[in-house]
Amino acid sequence: METNYYKHLPGKFKTSWRNHYTGQNLSMVRVACLVFLLLNLVLRLLYLIIPINLTRAENFPGFNISNWVFIASGAVFYIISNLLAEEYRKRKKATAIMALFVFVFSLFIISCGMFSSFVATGDPRNSPTLYLIALAVISVLCVFEFYETIMLLISVEILFTMLLTLSHASPAEMVYNQLVSMVLLGCFYLISRYFFSSKANYFLQLNEINEKNQEIERGSELKSQLLGMVAHDLRNPIAAIESVAMLMEMDDIEPDTQENLGFIKASCVKARTIIEDLLETARNENIIEFVTHKTELNKIITDIVDVWKKHEDTKNIELISYISPAYAMINHEKFQRVLDNLINNAFKFSKENSMVEIFLDNKGPDTIIEIKDNGIGIPPGKLPIIFDPFTKAGRNGLKGEQSTGLGLSIVKQIIEKHKGKIEVESEEGKGSVFRIALPAWDN
């Protein structure tokens, strides 16, 4: 931590820091005023309840007068602190009057402690406790700039010297008391600057973190916009290439040409899939309002399973439900994409005629959906990164299907927008289980 014992806070945050600590100072002064006022009211109440014992105390007349002064002053300071705090709340900007008020209040509290030490013994070096407490309270509660701290020290020292003079202290007593005061003021200076540095460094770190977060958000937004624009603009030329290839197939062509056209069409399909994944990623990151509806999960999953069963190579799929009805807040379009992606992966990495099972159950406050296959499984080293965008965990399917590395990232984004979570368990050679947990909705 950088300690600013002799200088101002450097950098571009100087003004915002002053505004910040002025608001904090006003809040702390308001609380301190209230505590100070209540303490003096309690002393006055004790005087009314047991006046005989108190009035027999040494130097009681001085305490009696000072108590009334402290009560009146505390009330005035409390009212002013509330007014200035309200003004700061509206403007969020420090003013010279606010800084002056905090300075005057700090000098007042220290003076009260100093005066009480004089009244208690007539020789404050014998009992500087109240003086020390006042200095410690102000050094911890209030933040001062370097020049304000120096001005406060000078003002306190002048007041202390005046009280010593008025108390008719001998030259030796004055020297001893001044030495005690200098030690206390030196401690006050070190503590005050330490807390200034601590709070200033925390403020700087917080602002730097906020700036970095804003830069990250702007960069993420720009990336998503560029991603969407590029992906969108690539669709038209790829569609044109695919159309030309299909037109060429309508003519009599040689087998080698037919093979090349097939390769072109397959590449276009692959490119179109990548583009759709890129667009989906951009859309998911930029969604501000994610609309969901109360949905019965048995029905929506059954409808998706029925579609997959219509294809010969994906007909071995079954829903096993342990709860019916099962409701959750679902975005139908996005949720269908999640299940289609996971089911597609299950078949892509399973041998022909392998079974894919979908389980629906509940666990505590969550509804659990599991997609289980008996395929080749996922290597342990790839499990931690499987949901990362553009992950290196992507692999070709058993029939050569290529991976964009975006599918599971998109799945995770969508599930998190449903306020759910997704995890995976897998063992090589035995298959994988993708587990989705969604907040359950009362039936």
Bridging pattern class, strands 356-363 and 366-372: antiparallel
DSSP per position, 162-221: HHHHHTT--HHHHHHHHHHHHHHHHHHHHHHHHHHHHHHHHHHHHHHHHHHHHHHHHHHH
What is the mean pLDDT, run by run of 10 residues, along the chain of 443 residues? 55 78 89 89 79 54 75 90 90 88 91 76 60 87 87 90 78 82 88 85 83 79 68 72 78 76 75 69 62 88 87 84 87 86 86 87 88 86 79 59 70 87 88 90 67
Contact 408, 349 (CB under 8 A): no
The pLDDT of residue 428 is: 84
Contact 123, 177 (CB under 8 A): yes
Count CA atoms closer than 13 A to 123's CA, side-chain side.
10
Query: How far apart are alpha carbons 346 and 375 in whole angstroms?
Result: 7
The interaxial angle of helices 297-309 and 332-348, nearest 10 deg, is 50
Which stretch of DSSP H or E encloses residue 229? helix 171-249
The pLDDT of residue 170 is: 76
The pLDDT of residue 103 is: 92
How many residues in the chain? 443
The pLDDT of residue 348 is: 85
The pTM score is 0.54
The pLDDT of residue 100 is: 92
The pLDDT of residue 154 is: 92
